Amino acid sequence: MSMSGYRELFDASITDPSAFWADAAKCVTWTREPQQILDDSNPPFYRWFPDGELNTCANALDRHISERGDQAALIYDSPVTATKRTFTYRELLDQTARFAGVLAGLGVTKGDRVVIYMPMVPEAVIAMLACARLGAVHSVVFGGFAGHELATRIDDARPKVVVSASCGIETSRIVEYKPMLDTALRLAEHTTPRCVILQREQHPCDLVEGRDVDWVQAMADAQPVDPVPVAATDPLYVLYTSGTTGKPKGIVRDNGGHAVALLWTMRHIYDMAPGEVFWAASDVGWVVGHSYIVYAPLLYGATTVIYEGKPVGTPDAGAFWRVAAEHKVKALFTAPTAIRAIKKEDPDAALLADYDLSDLKYLFQAGERLDPATYEWAAEKLGIPIIDHWWQTETGWAIAADPMGVEALPVKPGSATVPMPGYDVRILTADGSECEAGEEGSVCIKLPLPPGTLPTLWGEDDRYVSSYLRAFDGYYLTGDGGYIDEDGYLFIVGRTDDVINVAGHRMSTGSIEAVLAGHPAVAECAVIGVADELKGQIPRGLVVLKSGASADGLTTELIDAVRNDIGAVASFKKVDIVGALPKTRSGKILRKTMRGIADGKDEPVPSTIEDPSVLEDLKKVLKG
């Protein structure tokens, strides 16, 4: 198998990381070019470009004006409000510089924090870029998080200003943000003196006199401000990991390494050129939204899409194809969950015929494991490369991918392909020794991590070490299990707590899920390990059917399929057909929560859940 182009890049990044990333850094416009590339004087705290200086907003907007001022920078497409709007680079810069003036007028300066609690509207992007312009640190909290969860993040970030909106809009309901914001500010110990509120006509809210400022009025009075240079190692943002039940973990992203890494990925992983249209169908509240709705496309001079809608129901399962066709999207990046939802509603992809997708060259998948059945469906129906890639909130960009801008490597369904430059991925056993090819273990990354990854946690260096670096000295622990095959391909089998022990046999629930997902009647599925007196744990399946599929005899067929593909050792004897699976708003299935319920624990409802009623309905099944 020839992988010469990829191998040359990857080997260069490992043998001489400073030279590799110094070359990549030439794509950034620095106010002071870094002379030192990697500061490794204080391991395990490594810092990239420590003496460099730049402004991320200036790199994303100002530097493109002479060449791309009239090019579309941001396309807003909102089927839930029947609104579409395009911002050129010049218009987006004008709005951003003005909103930076609003924040500056409220006392925000370099290093101050601003919490952004917004729906999927252009103003969310403008607020993020405005913070970057001032050298302030933004912390975006997913719009619609409950008051308590928002309060914990406010207390950790200690913002000078909160930027929010009167409401968010789901497919069939209004989500009132202002009451949740008011609750959060009441619960928080930290006092936030000022709030900027975007009033949406679908549901305006009352403002608190002396505290709340109307977005439109404030913008009318604001003076634009110039970008403030910051150190490459200064924080650009703090993003709290989803699903946290205790004190949230604030992932820090610095300015310099972030810009260098994201620019590198746009060309080498996503095969984009400046001026082309990139669409990450995610949310600005998640890391994908930070990296690939807001920063990477704009840093690169591409056009980005912000979509306020769903893959199905706004209005149908052709929504993604409509957006991709209408805006001439070259690369679409979304979660496998979205594709499974489309597949469930339109299993024959009949709605594809309504749209001209000749501009769509790639579908990138991340967020959770891309099962082979979903991969094969998308590949067959779309007829374009389907690229599974794997990364984390902590890393900010792909750990493993198929580098389409370098060379398209042969696909192995179920694999996220190969480690990207800078990521020295090793599979380790419990005692820290390296696994053989094909042997499952803990997926770890040898330090230092490449630019753009987390340098630490917000205000918690010790917690950063204990959470990620203590398990194996000199390695970052990803928390995922997997293996590397004889060709160097990385397979992620799931979080390490999704590896179950059935009568002494370690087995990944992902391998059983792959069998279930391969059945033509199954739209999506989850397998959890539940406690068993005799065997320690046994796997239990939950499946959602495709639209129009029959349940007759299905459970027997699925149990037989697992027995045939994996063997009796799996002890797979129970599978339930359910209406839906509980998920976070980013599309991750809540396996840990379901496992706890099945084991009889009093599991709290995670703050990140998309629809709590789904979990309530499942409780009766899981306890049965």
Among residues 259, 270, 266, 302, which one has the least CA distance to residue 73?
A: 302
Q: What is the mean pLDDT of residues 23-46?
A: 98
Residue 243, pLDDT score: 38
In whole angstroms, how far apart are CA 405 and each of 320, 413, 426? 24, 20, 25
pLDDT range class, residue 501, cuts 50, 70, 90? low
- Both tokens of 92, joined, read 């987006």
Burial category of 430 from C-beta neighbours within 10 Å (exposed 0-12, middle 13-18, buried 19 and up): exposed
pLDDT digits (tens, 9 = 90+) for 566-585: 766 678 889 999 999 988 77
Q: What is the mean pLDDT of residues 399-422?
A: 95
Q: What is the mean pLDDT of residues 1-14?
A: 89
pLDDT(276) > 80: yes
pLDDT(244) > 50: no
pLDDT(1) > 70: no
- Both tokens of 143, joined, read 């719009």
Q: What is the mean pLDDT of residues 354-365?
A: 97
pLDDT range class, residue 514, cuts 50, 70, 90? confident
Comparing 265 with 2, the larger pLDDT belongs to: 265
Say what the pTM is. 0.86
- In contact, 58 and 66? CB cutoff 8 Å: no
Residue 248, pLDDT score: 79
pLDDT range class, residue 530, cuts 50, 70, 90? confident
> Cis peptide leading into 403, omega within 30 of 0?
no
pLDDT(16) > 80: yes
Residue 245, pLDDT score: 41
Residue 538, pLDDT score: 85
pLDDT over 90, % of the chain: 75
pLDDT(497) > 70: no
In whole angstroms, how far apart are CA 316 and each of 28, 313, 581? 41, 5, 20
- Cα separation, 329 vs 362, whole angstroms: 9
CB atoms closer than 10 angstroms to residue 298: 25
Residue 496, pLDDT score: 65
- In contact, 139 and 159? CB cutoff 8 Å: yes
62 dihedral zone (left: phi>0; alpha: psi -120 to 50; beta):
alpha
Q: Where are the alpha helices (DSSP H) in 403-553?
A: 461-464, 509-517
pLDDT digits (tens, 9 = 90+) for 431-442: 999 999 999 899
pLDDT(246) > 60: no
Dihedral sign for Cα 271, 586, 175, 159, please. Answer: negative
Q: What is the mean pLDDT of residues 435-454?
A: 96
Residue 322, pLDDT score: 98
pLDDT over 70, % of the chain: 95
pLDDT(247) > 80: no
Residue 605, pLDDT score: 77
What domains can be seen in the chain, in order of their start residue?
4-309+389-483 (3.40.50.12780), 503-622 (3.30.300.30)
HSE toward the beta carbon, residue 253, CA cutoff 13 A:
30
Say which amino acid occupies 66.
S
pLDDT digits (tens, 9 = 90+) for 323-354: 999 999 999 999 888 998 899 899 999 999 99
Residue 269, pLDDT score: 98
pLDDT digits (tens, 9 = 90+) for 591-618: 888 888 888 887 777 777 778 888 888 8
Residue 506, pLDDT score: 56
Return the top range by mean pLDDT from 126-135, 188-197, 547-556.
126-135
pLDDT digits (tens, 9 = 90+) for 409-418: 999 998 999 9
**What b-and-e string marks burial along 340-366, b requiring 16 or more CB atoms within 10 Å of the CB?**
bbbbbbbbebebbeebebeebbbbbbb
pLDDT range class, residue 498, cuts 50, 70, 90? low
Residue 337, pLDDT score: 83
